[in-house]
């Protein structure tokens, strides 16, 4: 009888230990959820985060309240989330910069980008576009590459900072084509584009949403998209892979993270609700108006993307020698 009794006790104990997680997932969220966006209000992360989290507030019956914690390329807000309780009541909306920071800041970070977070799901892609000042006598990517090779070290390109997505997108192009152009880092996307408009620099990679109005006004000329697929905002602009740089694919993204150890049922529930929100016609229209491509994913797909981009960004940052400004 004792072996049977022991088996019963073990089974009961296992059921009881699993019960809190199951109950937590069933009632989640039972209170307000804090959504840390580690960037100032008004940027792409903030825009997509607020749009989607409003839908989660409506569908789940609890407020998902945005808390903007800008500074240090998103690492200040990320630190808050890394140290938060892993219960699903503190989550983060962050971009590809999150994986880049691990290599830019290194040991200066107060958290571990890989071990202290888990991916919940992707929200949107931020396609980047190779853009030039109209004074540069090129209209295609092939012409740009040919001109750069004929004028080594004479063409300047602006970025939003060392190790930023625009910097690394151009670094990848340089490494794949062998061109020699000069990097001029600025402190943010707005001054990066302002410099290009003023002719201080002749070229730049920028998110489509950052330059779409200037492109439409004829103040800047788009040459090629960094993503592997076309952009609805710029349907006539080819990808770099299709216009002279086979295999080029680097598209920054925005996604949702939670502290490591957050119960899987909670992560799965958040992922499902996020994907439902991204399928709503008004959400799709809202994001596309900002030149952001809604990009639903499974939890596993997003975490696989994080792994690939962690390695990709690490290699590029090492190659460029980018450091904290």
pLDDT for 177-216, tens place per residue? 999 999 999 877 788 999 999 999 999 999 898 899 999 9
Same-domain check for residues 136 and 119: no
Question: The whole model's pTM is what?
Answer: 0.82
The answer to whether position 234 is within a domain reads no
Q: CA 220, CA 134: separation in Å to the nearest integer? A: 6
CA distance 101 to 98: 5
Residue 242 included in any domain? no
pLDDT in tens, 134-185: 999 999 999 999 999 999 999 999 998 888 888 899 999 999 999 999 999 9
* Any domain includes 237: no
Same domain, 172 and 308: no
pLDDT, tens only, 46-69: 989 999 999 999 999 999 999 999
> Which tokens sit at 63?
């407020």
Same domain for 144 and 97: no
- Measure Cα distances from 172 to 68, 175, 183, 196, 308 in Å: 31, 5, 13, 20, 15
Is residue 5's pLDDT more than 90? no
Asked whether 123 and 52 are in contact (CB, 8 A), the reply is yes
DSSP 8-state assignment for residue 72:
G
Task: With beta carbons less than 8 A apart as the criterion, state whether 311 and 103 touch.
Answer: no
**Enclosing domain of residue 22:** 11-125+252-320
Query: Does residue 157 sit in the same domain as residue 297?
Result: no
**Residues facing residue 262 across a β-bridge:** none
Which backbone phi and psi does 90 adopt, to 5 degrees?
-135, 115
Answer whether residue 247 is part of any domain.
Answer: no
Q: Structurally, how many domains does the chain consist of? A: 2
Give the pair of three-digit tokens for residue 32: 């307000």
112 shares a domain with 25: yes
Per-residue pLDDT band at 2 (split at 50, 70, 90): low
Is the same domain home to 111 and 145? no
CATH classification of the domain holding 179? 3.40.190.10
The angle that helices 264-278 and 281-289 make with each other, rounded to 10 degrees, is: 80
């Amino acid at each position: 009888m004792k072996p049977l009794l022991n088996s019963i006790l073990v089974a009961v104990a296992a059921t009881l230990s699993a019960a809190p997680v199951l109950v937590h997932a069933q009632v989640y969220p039972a209170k307000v959820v804090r959504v840390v966006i580690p960037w100032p209000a008004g940027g792409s992360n903030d825009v997509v985060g607020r749009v989607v989290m409003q839908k989660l507030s409506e569908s789940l019956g609890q407020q998902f309240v945005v808390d903007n914690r800008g500074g240090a390329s998103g690492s200040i807000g990320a630190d808050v989330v890394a140290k938060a309780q892993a219960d699903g009541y503190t989550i983060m909306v962050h971009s590809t910069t999150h994986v880049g920071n691990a290599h830019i800041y290194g040991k200066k970070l107060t958290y571990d980008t890989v071990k202290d977070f888990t991916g919940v799901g992707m929200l949107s892609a931020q396609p980047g576009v190779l853009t030039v000042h109209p004074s540069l006598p090129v209209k295609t990517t092939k012409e740009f590459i040919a001109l750069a090779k004929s004028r080594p070290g004479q063409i300047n390109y602006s970025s939003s900072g060392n190790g930023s997505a625009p910097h690394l997108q151009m670094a990848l192009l340089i490494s794949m084509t062998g061109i020699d152009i000069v990097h001029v880092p600025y402190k943010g996307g707005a001054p990066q584009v302002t410099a290009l408009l003023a002719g201080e620099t002749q070229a730049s990679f920028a998110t489509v949403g950052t330059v779409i109005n200037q492109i439409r006004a004829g103040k800047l000329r788009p040459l090629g998209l960094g993503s592997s697929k076309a952009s609805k905002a710029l349907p006539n602009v080819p990808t770099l892979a299709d216009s002279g740089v086979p295999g080029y694919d680097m598209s920054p993204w925005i996604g949702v993270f939670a502290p490591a150890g957050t119960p899987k049922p909670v992560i799965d529930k958040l992922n499902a609700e996020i994907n439902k929100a991204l399928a709503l016609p008004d959400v799709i229209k809202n994001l596309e108006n900002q030149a952001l491509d809604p990009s639903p994913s499974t939890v596993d797909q997003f975490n696989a993307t994080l792994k690939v981009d962690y390695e990709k960004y690490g290699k590029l940052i090492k190659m460029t020698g980018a450091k904290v400004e």
